[in-house]
């Protein structure tokens, strides 16, 4: 991951994937604090670059919420899950509205 960060930069999509994968590995080993630190970084960077409704950002949020649950931090996990779900609903509604507009154009 250090090479990826140095060569591609921390904001590169592949670097973020590597960071997220490393966090999953940490979580499996029970290294929850280290996993949380990486997941916070990934979520923050992805939200800044791609927005909160982006599927990768939402995935990062869900992974972070799972880490909170594993740490027994239920309130934080639930709040983050709700936030991610709300962004997902908003994104889905926007897509449906866009789809309806496209259908109207082609039906004319």
Please tell me the pTM assigned to this model: 0.80
CA 61 to CA 51: how far, in whole Å?
A: 12
Contact 80/68 with Cβ under 8 angstroms?
yes
CA 90 to CA 15: how far, in whole Å?
A: 27
Residues in CB range of 81: below 8 A, 6 or more apart: 61, 62, 65
Q: What is the CATH class of 2-107?
A: mainly alpha
- CA dihedral (87, 88, 91, 96) positive or negative: negative
Which of 81, 72, 63, 77 shows the shortest CA–CA distance to 21?
63
Q: Where are the domains of the chain?
A: 2-107
Residue 108 has a pLDDT of 55
Residue 93 has a pLDDT of 76
pLDDT tens digits along 89-106: 888 777 666 666 666 666
Residue 64 has a pLDDT of 97
pLDDT tens digits along 5-46: 555 667 888 899 999 999 999 999 999 999 999 999 999 999
């Amino acid at each position: 991951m250090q090479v990826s960060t140095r060569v591609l930069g921390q904001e590169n999509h592949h670097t973020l994937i590597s960071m997220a994968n490393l966090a999953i590995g940490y979580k499996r080993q029970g290294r929850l604090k280290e996993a949380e630190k990486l997941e916070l970084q990934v979520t923050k960077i992805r939200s800044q670059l791609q927005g909160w409704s982006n599927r990768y950002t939402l995935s990062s949020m869900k992974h972070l919420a799972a880490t909170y649950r594993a740490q027994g931090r239920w309130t934080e996990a639930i709040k983050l899950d709700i936030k991610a779900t709300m962004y997902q609903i908003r994104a889905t509604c926007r897509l449906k509205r866009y789809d309806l507009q496209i259908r109207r154009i082609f039906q004319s």
